[in-house]
Amino acid sequence: MVKENLEEVERRISEACRRAGRSREEVTLVAVSKTKPVSMIEEAYRTGIRDFGENKVQELCEKHEVLESDIRWHMIGHLQRNKVRQVVDKTVLIHSVDSVRLAAQIDEEAAKKGITADILLEVNVAAEESKYGFRLEETEQALREIAAFSHVHIQGLMTIAPFVDNSEENRPIFKKLYQFYVDMRGKNIDNVTMSMLSMGMTGDYEVAIEEGATLVRVGTGIFGTRYKIGENEG
């Protein structure tokens, strides 16, 4: 099932890229493997997938221990400051940096391990009360503060769009974040690359790609129905 699902997701990503006049190489598929057993991740791995996203630190750490060493783990869920130490050197990218204090903690733990952590700032574009992330109007100030830290590197932005029945409803959200992303890139802020835009999940990743996403986070579309209901990612 995983193999067939991945073929369909790949087809849809390629089609979305074609419609947008983009190269398929511009978009990274992050397979959201939260709550999924190792056997399913191994099945996806055998098809060539190397980027996997996890919501919870404990689950990421457990899978990191037993799965292949060339997997690129992405932390996509809300990250508590007291858990940063466990995960900072196990991820290629932390998508969900939603406060300056969290960034400071990542900077501190990365310094202890002698590494630089790549991060994205999570932006709550729709200003939903139930979601984490910076409001759009406060993101530039936060970005400039965090850019001063020496052991984190801001690679771009992430958003979790509202849950909607029609993916077209989220197009304005993606369009707005992409425009902000381009604006920030044009300001050439030191220690800010602005080369990654993580937006789009199973229900709306095609629209997100059409609006400029460089990473899409797909869980249900690859692994089937979630084991836990009510989570935001995938």
Beta-carbon contacts of residue 58 (< 8 Å; ≥ 6 apart): 86
Q: What is the pTM of this model?
A: 0.95
Q: Among residues 178, 167, 154, 156, which one has the least CA distance to residue 207?
A: 167
Percentage above 90 pLDDT, the chain: 94
Cα–Cα dist 121/138, whole Å: 11
Cα–Cα dist 216/168, whole Å: 16
Taking only the tens place, the pLDDT of each residue in 38-84 is 999 999 999 999 999 999 999 999 999 999 999 999 999 999 999 99
pLDDT given at position 226: 52
Beta-carbon contacts of residue 105 (< 8 Å; ≥ 6 apart): 81, 84
For the segment 222-226, the average pLDDT, to the nearest whole number, is 83
What the block records as the tokens of 51 is 């980027």
225 pLDDT band (50/70/90 cuts)? confident
Question: Is it the case that residue 230 has pLDDT exceeding 90?
Answer: no
Calculate the average pLDDT of the chain: 95
Question: Is it the case that residue 231 has pLDDT exceeding 70?
Answer: no
229 pLDDT band (50/70/90 cuts)? very low
Residue 118 pairs in a beta bridge with 153
209 pLDDT band (50/70/90 cuts)? very high
Percentage above 70 pLDDT, the chain: 96
Taking only the tens place, the pLDDT of each residue in 78-127 is 999 999 999 999 999 999 999 999 999 999 999 999 999 999 999 999 99
Q: How many residues does the chain have?
A: 234
Residue 94 pairs in a beta bridge with 75, 119
Query: How many CB atoms sit inside 10 A of residue 165's CB?
Result: 7
Can you point out the beta strands (E) in the chain?
A: 28-32, 51-54, 72-75, 93-97, 117-122, 152-158, 192-198, 215-218
- Assess contact for 181 and 156: CB atoms under 8 A: yes
Q: Among residues 45, 35, 50, 91, which one has the least CA distance to residue 230?
A: 35
Question: Is it the case that residue 160 has pLDDT exceeding 90?
Answer: yes
Cα–Cα dist 159/120, whole Å: 10
Can you point out the beta strands (E) in 49-182?
A: 51-54, 72-75, 93-97, 117-122, 152-158
